[in-house]
Amino acid sequence: MKAVLRFLCLMLCFQAFGQDYSGRDSAKSRYGERILRYEVDVDIDRNGLATITEKIKVKSEGDAIEHGIFRTFPPFKEAKGQHRPPNFNLISVKKDGATESYHTEFEDGNRVVYIGSKSVYLTRGIYEYELKYTITNQVGFFDDFDEFYWNATGDKWQFPIDFAKTTLHLPEGVEILQNACYTGRYGSNAQNCTSRKIGENSISWQALNLGAREGLTVAAGFTKGQVQPPPPPTFFEKYGVPILLLLTLGALSLYYIFTWLKYGKDPQKPTVYPQFNPPNNFSPATMGYIDDGKLSKDLLSAAIVSLATKGFIKIEESGKSGFFSRKSFTLKKIKNDDDSLPAEETLLMNRFFSKGDTLTIDGSYDSKIESIVKDFHSSLKTQHQKFLDEGNNRNFLILPIIITIVVYGIAMAILGTIYGFESVLGNFGVVFVQVIFVVVFWLFFKNRKGSFIGIVTILIFGSVGAVGTLVSLFMDKNMLPVNIFSILSMIMIAIYSWLIKRPSEQKLEARSLINGFRMYMGAAENQLLQFHNPPQMTPEVFEKLLPYAMVLGVDKIWGQKFENMLVRSATSYESDWYVSPNTFSASSFGNTLNSSLANTLSSASTQPSSSSSGSSGGGFSGGGGGGGGGGGW
């Protein structure tokens, strides 16, 4: 549980710190660092290729701008009527007219160009940076006009911008029909900007005194037919991936059905009859492991109680009762182990008393206890894992998993050539996060019985993460088929992995006998009359079968039946193998001992955490293509 919570906290921390790296915010600009002039020149050719030159003149005080500036480019989206993702190509980067070193990183799905060198520190002064790049598929095609809609400066700069200007050059013969500009933070409809036509096919816009995180967005509508629209998508581009994925899901479904019918249908379960003694001479830990198939913490506490009721050890409990109190248990060796003990209990005797005849377990982490717990589990696995694994049919999962991964990779590669590999990689990251959540949940619920609070916590975090991930997956229409495929594939594999299990007849027989034993121990007294000569309840029978009641989940009922016997016979009970400062209650004795001992052992064997933890006037600032922002570094 602690490991899972640490993982979820780390995921939330990464998300919190990664929300907005440009949050190295305008506080640093208070010292005078600012953008004095931001000029953007856009030249669009007849194929729709936009060549953009940005000139950014900044004032540096050596504060945020130590090495240079960074320019953030968000994921570019294709304009209306475009069928392929934009292709961005950075041509050159300059500082004061000379070529400047730079490096590019991808942060939170954004392309960030860091201009300057880590080894070079700038002196205070004024510097002019120039970025030149090309971008495709940014001309939108409407019914009556074509349009270029561009977030020219970006609206995520951490510095104020004193003067911003954008100039647009269209091909010869193109007439600008309408234009608009917008200023302010993202979503603002303010138009504190002016425009001026330079010629029939050129126009410029400018704005003054933009604050930090404010930008200039421009839009121009022009005559249709002068910029070549993209060709329509081919049949393969539109339907190739969906057809591939549908065929794969269909083929996998046939595989699942055929193999389940032939190898996965369970044989008929034996009829359950009451059993009055442990079947097959199973030890308590063995019975619990075969019954549940999990290494729960009840197994070790039941094995210790089993040793005590057989007279090999004595359990002394100390510490006050209460929700927040810590229990302490001292185990005292009474006699040496012998051949009558099962392997896992012999191991406990040898490990508990390897350096003396007493061992105290107070809930504090102890590497020795951790090692004993691991060896105890290993002993049970060595004895019974092969028997439990019979009929799991895990080998039938290999082929569908390989096919799913290969087809997913092929589909992503095809979509990458159509829509761009940046978009594909971002989508893969979201799918990867979803897979991580699924794996964490599976590991958490597979090998332990979580507390109510732990289970609720996991479900809350998991639901939030799953909903957020699913929303992200379904937001990208281009990746929708492969995202649906990945989700359906995981669901189908999960269901199939459960259905394909076919327990052996020997396992079904063993569990039938165990259920019969549980039937006897968990039956109410009036139900016992239906059984043929059930044994009478005595202190000896109660003690002998108490460890079994602990692993079968009927310790409360077993204790209540013992208490009823004491009341009817007007006798008292005093254990010679268990000492406690608390008042004895037969009805809750087994359940309380099981819970306290199991929790103390769990705490003592768990290492503590190492840390605590547009042009017609309907647009807005930040709309259209382009965008992003930047700052100093």
pLDDT digits 0-9 by tens, 284-333: 999 999 998 888 888 999 999 999 999 999 999 887 555 445 688 999 99
Residue 321 is predicted with a pLDDT of 53
Q: What is the pLDDT of residues 396-419, one digit of tens each?
A: 999 999 999 999 989 988 887 777
**What mean pLDDT comes out for the span 507-534?**
80
Question: What DSSP letter does each residue of 346-369 carry, written as one string?
Answer: HHHHHHHTTT-SEEEE-SS--HHH
Distance CA 333, CA 308 (A): 9
Q: What is the Cα gyration radius of the chain?
A: 36
- Residue reference for tokens 């259905």: 499
Question: DSSP state, 464?
Answer: H
Q: Encode pLDDT of 164-199 as tens digits.
A: 999 999 998 888 999 999 999 988 889 999 999 998
CATH class belonging to 34-232? mainly beta
Identify the residue with better confidence: 615 or 236.
Answer: 236
**What digits encode the pLDDT tens for the residues 488-516?**
998 899 899 889 988 888 888 999 999 99
Domain spans in the chain, listed from the N-terminal domain onward: 34-232, 284-392+516-605, 395-500
Model-level pTM? Answer: 0.56
Would the pLDDT of 22 be above 70?
Answer: no
* Residue 413, phi then psi, degrees to nearest 5: -65, -45
CB 352 within 8 A of CB 359: yes
In the chain, what is the straight-line distance between the N-terminal and C-terminal CA atoms, in Å?
40
Report residue 240 as tokens: 């190739």
Alpha helices in 263-394 (DSSP H): 284-292, 298-309, 343-352, 367-389
Q: For 566-624, what is each residue's pLDDT tens digit?
A: 888 888 888 889 888 777 777 677 778 888 888 888 888 887 654 333 555 555 455 55
Nearest to 372 by CA among 356, 386, 361: 361
Does residue 70 or residue 589 have the better pLDDT? Answer: 70
Q: Which two tokens stand for residue 523?
A: 């039956």
How far is 124 from 33, CA to CA, in rounded Å?
Answer: 10
**pLDDT for the residue numbered 302:** 93
- 545-560 confidence digits (pLDDT tens): 999 999 999 989 898 8
**pLDDT at res. 400:** 94
**In this structure, are residues 462 and 437 in contact, taking their beta carbons and an 8 Å threshold?**
yes
